[in-house]
Structure 1
Amino acid sequence: MSVRKILFFILFVLALLAMIGYFFPKEGMRLGSVKLNFRSTSDLFAPQKQPTTAPDPEEQLAMMAESFLKEKLEALADSIDYYEQFFRESPVRIHFPANDPSILDGFFATLDSCRAQNRVVRVLHYGDSQIEQDRLSATLRDGLQKIAGGMGVGLIPAVQPIPSRTLRQDYEGNIRRYLLYGPSGLRAPHRRYGPMAAVCEVDNYAYLIVNALKRQDSDISNHFTRIRLLLGNNSADFKATIELKDRYETRKISEAGLDLKVISWELNRPENSFSMFLNGTAEIYGILLDGNSGVAVDNIPMRGSSGNLFTGIDSRLLHAAFQAMDVQLFLLEFGGNRMPSIRSQEDIDSYVNVIGRQIRYLKTLVPGAQVLFIGPADMSCSVDGVMQTYPLLEELIEGLKKVVLENGAAFWDLYQVMGGRNSMINWVNTQPPLAAPDYIHFTLKGADKIADLLNENIALCYTNYKFRNKHNLNDSSRLKLSSIELGYSDYAEEFEQLIRENLSPGDSLPEDLDSESVLNEFLELLHKNTERKQE
């Protein structure tokens, strides 16, 4: 073929594409469920659109953290006015129905009493792949266990094919895993999935190996002093044996039955690894690795799930499991998987109504337990060739917030905490990256920073709960302590600890801590050291 013909062919193709671009609808064309778009000639020669800029991730995180520090200091000085302002206006706040944080009072009361009652209370953290590998949950676990005590990684499945930052698991034998989420081929022929929306069916024999991994910043989360096995639909004389180094302990269930059973082992000392032999037929719903008291935070990732599955689990089994586990708080982190299929407000309304039904279902199964819904993070996709926030994401988040609050649950706006529109782009591009190059998932570092902010939020709610109890305040009364000395005397220990955490090596605390002038000096000292650290 001659050069002239090749040139003519190229020009002909370009002219044809330009003609298609000129007449093709700007809004695109739908063929069934597929939407076709074609770049117009004006798009090709026009300057490329720049997405709305979002704040630098580190600056945004520092601003969110600073709001907690400010609230801690000001609450010491001027009492409940600052709590009320925080719960009403702070961009990092947890949103409560009617701005009333007292809905968590029952949960905090159990945290205060669990050690004295030798009781392990549970927080179930459900989410999609955003929380895989124990992301977010591990940091939340550390924070809550600092408040109420406890140890262990909590609820784990018998079989876990996804690597975790806190556990290494393996198995052999005749065991089959069914899931209520993910590919349809993994569904069980029944609805007895248990609290993890998963079930492992053992046929005659299985051998499980569990090794808890030590995390650099935690000394207790990898150890446990109590092992409990949740099972049901077992054969007669079903046996479970744990191996701890060279020691074996066997438990047996003599009678066959469909109902939930719990097999327990109380250990003489904290352990971080064991093996388990299972003999017989049974459905295994999970294994609990805890201390003797305190709080447990369970990581339950459901890859591909939109959080619409709880009503598909047998209610009798789920109620019995939640009761046996002493569940007091549900953390639900969903919405990201639904976003790519959202095309209209009708799609949003349909999804959020399903989420409302799941919240009501969980509250019915565990009366008195509370629900905290964590909204979707910012997510980016290519829009007209430019990476930017998914269309309708903000509308989805507002819809979720509305239905969550209407159903008596709390809502944390992760999108707003990140910095809002197009913030994910900066989280991906910052060094080191705080989000993955898929513009959807956090890195471990990014997840830890988000979890730190949620921990601070929960800690502030807990401090507010203690404050109201100390001064006999109900959710509608207000106490104005104009005296800064009174505020300081009430919170001397907490204030000193806060100051010490922010002192530089060469600074020290004065001995006289009870006057307003000294308190103001402390505030100035703290401000000076904070600026020095930022430099």
Structure 2
Amino acid sequence: MQALSSPAQRYIHDYPSYDFIDYEKNQLQYFGTAEPMQGFYQKLDRLVYRGEGQINILHVGGSHIQAGIWSGTIRETLHSLHPGIAAGRGLVFPYRAAKTNTPYDYSVDYGGGWEGCRNVEKNKDCDLGVMGISVTTKRNDAWLKIELKENPIIDYSFTEAIVYHSTDAQSYCFDFPNDPQASIQTFADKGYSKITFTRALDTLHLQVKQTDSLQHYFTCYGFKLENNRSGIYYNAVGVNGADVPAYLRSPNFARDLQASPPDLVIFSIGINDALYPGFSAQAYKENYRELIRRIKTVSPHVAIIFTTNNDSYFKRRYVNPNGEKVKQAMAELSLQYNAAVWDMYSIMGGRGSIDTWVSARLAKTDKLHFSAEGYRVIGGLLASALVQDYEKHILTRARR
């Protein structure tokens, strides 16, 4: 079996070349050893060469990730690398029920009245999980619906799902009107139910139902759409405005990972940590260390990629001086955890480069977020860097 498709077939998106992007820097850097990433690549070898196993990638961030375009571009690129490498869509959430934006590749509908809670809301006390967001209803006729949009290249239909939800005696039960015979196995101590559908679906329709007078509410923390195929799950977790402490306020973050322990975590949290002049690199690193500690209780040998912040302004008027500080902090964390770093800050041109990206319509005029095309560009760049690093592993393996 060929390891990967030819370079001409590799990427599903064609991107124009921009003279202000430093393509020579578009690579993964290691300030320690590459041992954890090599372990990840060995799992990828088994999948690519023998068609064996499922791989879970977790990409965590703020609004850059909630929008779904950056992570979605990487997902689709990886899933197009080789026949049979796409396992399923992975983590999704009914964002619209929480009155916030939904990723581009699925739609959300709901009924019955839902109240959202996000990990950036410090005044709320919510037992949040890995997705950092929840929706709660007190109505026994409420429902949620997530419909995957058709992908012309990749089949993301699902035959199984994980529902992360409240599981105490006061919580409503649920079923699935579009597949009444679906099997539901609940693991109350782990905070989720495993669903096996009788046929492949592209729509998840959850209907709340009351089966006991004690039941008076239901909280949903997210879904993972699965099937029994080998392949890669690229799971994206993003909450608008989230910094690293926001994910530390999700007490069930690590518990939820037990259902699908990550083999690789991509950290893109930092733009909200370092948005203002009072940024503390030391506190930033300590917060990351605690988050990594929690993840390693579930996946002790997890591989990690840190993505440095994009260049930005604060208050739209002042160049943010903290991009270099975040870059240095991530280099130090890379050394400590033998993690990789993808230096977006330098690749896009360094300090002040956001102005050029705005002029090229790759970034928005808030000088903080990218445009849809900009997110596709950085997604393609990171995917390219990851694939090229894996190809180096393949060449080294072939020489042995």
TM-score of the pair, normalised by structure 1:
0.63
Aligned to 2:54: 120
Q: Does 1:162 align with 2:94?
A: no
Match of 2:397 among 469, 472, 495: 469
Unaligned 5+ segments in structure 1 are: 1-55, 68-90, 473-535
Conserved 8 A contact 1:96-1:409 = yes
* CA deviation vs aligned residue, 1:149-194 (integer Å, no higher than 9, x gap): 125431012444313211110211254332222x334432xxx312
TM-fit CA distance, 1:286: 1.5
Aligned to 1:27: none
Aligned to 2:260: 325
Match of 2:305 among 352, 361, 372: 372
Match of 1:134 among 68, 82, 101: 68
The alignment-based identity, stated in percent, is: 19
Aligned to 1:447: 375
Distance in 1 (CA, whole Å) between partners of 2:277 and 2:338 is: 25
Match of 2:190 among 259, 275, 281: 259
Unaligned 5+ segments in structure 2 are: 1-15, 211-216
Conserved 8 A contact 2:36-2:303 = yes
TM-fit CA distance, 1:267: 5.0
Aligned to 1:226: 160
Conserved 8 A contact 2:62-2:242 = yes
Considering only CA atoms, is the larger Rg found in Structure 1 or Structure 2? 1
Match of 1:304 among 210, 220, 241: 241
Rate the CA distance shift 1:310–1:232 in 2: closer, same or farther, 3 A. same
| Correspondence list, 1:131-530, <5 A | 131-147=65-81, 149-160=85-96, 161-173=100-112, 175-181=114-120, 183-188=121-126, 192-203=127-138, 204-214=140-150, 218-220=152-154, 222-235=156-169, 239-244=173-178, 247-252=179-184, 257-269=188-200, 271-280=201-210, 281-292=217-228, 293-314=230-251, 317-343=252-278, 347-381=280-314, 389-430=319-360, 433-472=361-400
Distance in 2 (CA, whole Å) between partners of 1:327 and 1:403 is: 19
Q: How many residue pairs get matched? A: 371
Rate the CA distance shift 1:353–1:162 in 2: closer, same or farther, 3 A. same
* CA deviation vs aligned residue, 1:307-346 (integer Å, no higher than 9, x gap): 22343333xx4444212113211111122112232336xx
* CA deviation vs aligned residue, 1:192-221 (integer Å, no higher than 9, x gap): 312112233354343111121235xx5216
Letter of the structure 2 residue corresponding to residue 409 of structure 1: A
Task: Give the number of the structure whose residues are more often helix, by fraction.
Answer: 1
Letter of the structure 2 residue corresponding to residue 122 of structure 1: N
* CA deviation vs aligned residue, 1:400-454 (integer Å, no higher than 9, x gap): 3223432332221111010112111010012xx0000101111111111111111
Distance in 2 (CA, whole Å) between partners of 1:237 and 1:361 is: 27
TM-score of the pair, normalised by structure 2:
0.82
Q: Does 1:94 align with 2:28?
A: yes
TM-fit CA distance, 1:377: 0.1
Letter of the structure 2 residue corresponding to residue 219 of structure 1: I
Give 3-state SS (helix, strand or coil) of 1:248's partner: coil
Distance in 1 (CA, whole Å) between partners of 2:350 and 2:186 is: 57
Aligned to 1:58: 18
Conserved 8 A contact 1:151-1:223 = no
Rate the CA distance shift 1:464–1:253 in 2: closer, same or farther, 3 A. closer
Please report the RMSD computed on the Cα atoms of aligned residues, expressed in angstroms. 2.9
TM-fit CA distance, 1:250: 4.3
